[in-house]
Amino acid sequence: MSALHEDFACCPFCGEALGLQAVRLGVCSHCRAELGKGPDTWEMPEAESENWPRALHPSSTMGSVLPGRLQGAIDNIRGLERGPDVSEDCDFSLLEQLGKGGMGLVYAARQVSLDRDVAVKLLRTDKQGSHSARAKFLAEAQVTGELEHPNIVPVYELGATKDGIPFYAMKQVKGQPWSRTISGAARAANLEIWMRVADAVAYAHSCGVIHRDIKPENVMLGDYGEVVLMDWGLAVSITNENHAPHIESLPAVGGTPGYMAPEMARGETGLIGYSSDVYLLGAVLFEIVTGCAPHPGEAV
């Protein structure tokens, strides 16, 4: 067994076994600790590589360890507006950019093997050198992937490109954000949407997860009546002790000022809990009733 493999057999911080994707992403999937080495330093012993599932098996044709074999579509991701031609080594064909957030880029894509539309989110180019950004991106994918609820977008796959760019594939919800319709919709219709969002939040809380950024902009209304709570980038799990380092490293202020709970605005991370999400739900309800968010302005 190589020295590198011995180094990465277990996380030096929490002691949990490391998966190959955790090493490629440079972040422990259990405690979110930075591994301190680049994604290309992993060496898999030949004997062990034979035991990996086919989707994770390195080969000369794939050139990297990549569950979704996204690399063919990502080779020219910088500035990409239309995905390249589909090849046998590419399961996802990127079609067009759907959105851009503080952490990632979201693309409409086609998963060739299952012949279905999906959305693919990649860590932004300017964030790829940041271990903390990679940790947050990985946490978002894993937290969302653990939650199975009709009003929470399902995650299909998590991986990294041959260049080590993290990505995950999820259901593509075709529709529009609630923020575009909330002001003109009937109060009864808005309350129905609000109740379904509250159902999603209650389920997340039953799993020990706090969203921390509930607002109409993060709720997608599908063309077929779906109501989906999106953007779990600020979410944290408070019941898993392995997540403690990630929770302790939360930024002093997180969320959206117009809806933010007092403890979030004051930067009191130790007080953030389920009640913070309840406050955010109340802030959205306030907007339904009055027509505006409870805290005007764009700054705390």
Q: Which positions ≥6 away from 196 have C-beta within 8 Å?
A: 151, 227
Q: What Rg value do the Cα atoms of the chain yield, rounded?
A: 20
Active site residue 213: yes
Three-state secondary structure readout of the chain: CCHHHHHHCECCCCCCECCHHHHHHCECCCCCCECCCCCCCCCCCHHHHCCCCHHHCCCCCCCCCCCCCCHHHHCCCCCCCCCCCCCCCCCEEEEEEEEECCCEEEEEEEECCCCEEEEEEEECHHHCCCHHHHHHHHHHHHHHHHCCCCCECCEEEEEECCCCCEEEEEECCCEEEHHHCCCCCCHHHHHHHHHHHHHHHHHHHHCCEECCCCCHHHEEEECCCCEEECCCCCCEECCCHHHHHHHHCCCCCCCCCCCCCHHHHCCCHHHCCHHHHHHHHHHHHHHHHHCCCCCCCCCC
Task: Specify burial of residue 199 (Cβ count, 10 A radius: 0-12, 13-18, 19+).
Answer: middle
Q: Which of 117, 199, 213, 277 is catalytic?
A: 213
Six token digits for residue 82: 């239309």
Six token digits for residue 221: 């209304």
Q: Which residues are catalytically annotated?
A: 213
